[in-house]
Amino acid sequence: MKSLYKVYGSRADKAAEILRNSAGRDDKLAGLPVTAAVVDANFEVRRGEIFVVMGLSGSGKSTLIRMLNGLLSPTHGTVEIDGVDITKLKPAALRKLRREKISMVFQHFALQPHRSVLDNAGYALEIAGLPRAERREKALQALRMVGLDGSADKLPQELSGGMRQRVGLARALAAGTDIMLMDEAFSALDPLIRREVQDQLLGLQAELGKTIVFITHDLNEAMRLGDRIAVMRAGRIVQIGTAEEILTDPSNDYVAQFVADVDRTRILTASAVMERPLGVVDVNSGPRVAARVLRETQTSAVYVTGRDKRYLGTVTADAATQAVRDGRKNLQEIVSTEYAHTVEDTTPVADIFAASAQSPAPVAVVDSAGRLVGVIPRVTLLSALGNLSTDTAGATATPGPADEVGTSPTTDPTRAVGAAGTAAPTGNGDPTAEVPAQVVAEPSARLTGEPA
């Protein structure tokens, strides 16, 4: 969508020209009998993503989605689908494009009450002229995807609201189009049924990989479904980003207020709050190297990885010290998988608390291939709850032993730690004022008396 405007009224073209040339000065429309529904919309929907358009009632969401399939003609601008500007297509070509590329799921089901569930699901195929047997087979397959194949012969009024919405979804799936437009498709459903249908949509998307534009006024729904989210206000798109980006870096006060009450722990993932691991050693480096890294980083354990960077476990200060004293050369023998629990980088923060509570050390974060990508100390986890940055939390909070292992310092460690591994005075009488939170280790963790 490029420079897209939709203005209603007898002076729509004049109003659109004023808006294009006035840099957002909507007050210049005063006195004109017009309503600006969409103003200067610019974005691109990627193949295979769920793109959510979110905003309050009257923000222009439904007008926007109806311009995507040509149900409404823009006052100005272009809508391109696979490089084809649909605003320039003749009616017959536009209808053909809709049949082949775009299907729509409506807010209030839009089912034909005199037709069976099966015939409703296959209606788009009937319009396309497919033989009866073929369209019934495809419609039944679509109903099976949404769990309604047992209700194929029923009428819509015999179904619950959630089941009727699934019929609408099956109709869109049966059409076989690559693009699905969903205009507040779940807003009429009860909360529990709504979540169930959302789950079904996410499952189908994982299997089919459709390109979906989803309209909603529900922030939690947008955060749950959207790969990316566009926030609209008074016809304008004020921010586009992932749920994490919008939550952690709102573009203005309006977006900040919009997301103020969101449960951050359900949106933010481990990758958003993790820190760089400070003490990491290769499994082939040996206990002496591990002991040296422990001494240099002033931490109580180091994280051990293989040659492929896959996370293997941790080596504690006590284990490394004893191995060096015993003359052992193999680090693998003293690696423990119990000292630090692990989570994947896509794990929601809400699901990390249990692992953090059970882990003496910061939780290790791995990617889908098992490679170590970060760590999460408890203080960082608490910072995510309080909407604080990691740096701020590290500077103002005093961690316990579990927060001291293998995390990046928030200040310069050369200023914070003296040659003997103790806090360097700062001149203000507080010997620990300049010590990074992650470096303040317990005395027992400092390898006192470790062999050189």
Q: Is residue 117 part of a domain?
A: yes
Q: Are residues 189 and 306 in the same domain?
A: no
Mean pLDDT to the nearest integer, 104-113: 85
Element of type H or E holding 324: helix 317-325
Dihedral sign (CA 109, 113, 118, 121): negative
Of residues 256 and 189, more confidently modeled: 256
Domain of 321, in residue numbers: 271-445
Per-residue pLDDT band for 23 (boundaries 50, 70, 90) equals: low
DSSP letters for 215-251: EES-HHHHHHH-SEEEEEETTEEEEEE-HHHHHHS-S
Q: Are residues 77 and 179 in the same domain?
A: yes
How large a percentage of the chain has pLDDT more than 70? 83
Angle of CA points 211, 214, 217, to nearest 5°? 165
Per-residue pLDDT band for 27 (boundaries 50, 70, 90) equals: low
Please tell me the total count of domains within the chain.
Answer: 2
Q: Are residues 335 and 246 in the same domain?
A: no
Per-residue pLDDT band for 403 (boundaries 50, 70, 90) equals: very low
Distance (Å, whole) CA 161 – CA 156: 9
Q: Are residues 250 and 277 in the same domain?
A: no
In terms of Cβ atoms closer than 10 Å to its own Cβ (0-12, 13-18, 19+), residue 8 is: middle
Q: Which of 234, 262, 290 is the last residue in one of the domains? A: 262
Distance (Å, whole) CA 317 – CA 321: 6
Q: Are residues 253 and 396 in the same domain?
A: no
Mean pLDDT to the nearest integer, 154-181: 91
Three-state DSSP at 102 gives: strand
Q: Are residues 209 and 298 in the same domain?
A: no
Three-state DSSP at 54 gives: strand
Q: Is residue 451 part of a domain?
A: no
Which stretches within 50-131 are classed as H helix?
61-68, 91-101, 117-121, 123-127
Q: Are residues 283 and 236 in the same domain?
A: no
Per-residue pLDDT band for 340 (boundaries 50, 70, 90) equals: confident
Neighbours of 121 (CB within 10 A): 33
Q: Is residue 278 part of a domain?
A: yes
Compute the mean pLDDT over every residue in the chain, rounded to the nearest whole number. Answer: 82
* Residue 151 and residue 170 in contact, taking contact as beta carbons nearer than 8 Å: no
Spell out a b/e string for 71-87, using b for 16 or more CB atoms within 10 Å of the CB, else e: ebebbbbebebeeeebb
pLDDT in the model for residue 399: 36
Q: Is residue 452 part of a domain?
A: no
Q: What's the maximum distance between 2 C-alpha atoms anywhere in the chain? A: 90
Q: Are residues 229 and 307 in the same domain?
A: no
DSSP letters for 149-191: GGGTTS-GGGS-HHHHHHHHHHHHHHTT-SEEEEESTTTTS-H
How many CA atoms, within 13 angstroms, populate the side-chain half-sphere of residue 54?
27
Q: Are residues 337 and 400 in the same domain?
A: yes
Per-residue pLDDT band for 257 (boundaries 50, 70, 90) equals: confident
Per-residue pLDDT band for 143 (boundaries 50, 70, 90) equals: very high
Q: Are residues 111 and 153 in the same domain?
A: yes
Q: Is residue 318 part of a domain?
A: yes
Mean pLDDT to the nearest integer, 57-71: 92
* Residue 430 and residue 311 in contact, taking contact as beta carbons nearer than 8 Å: no
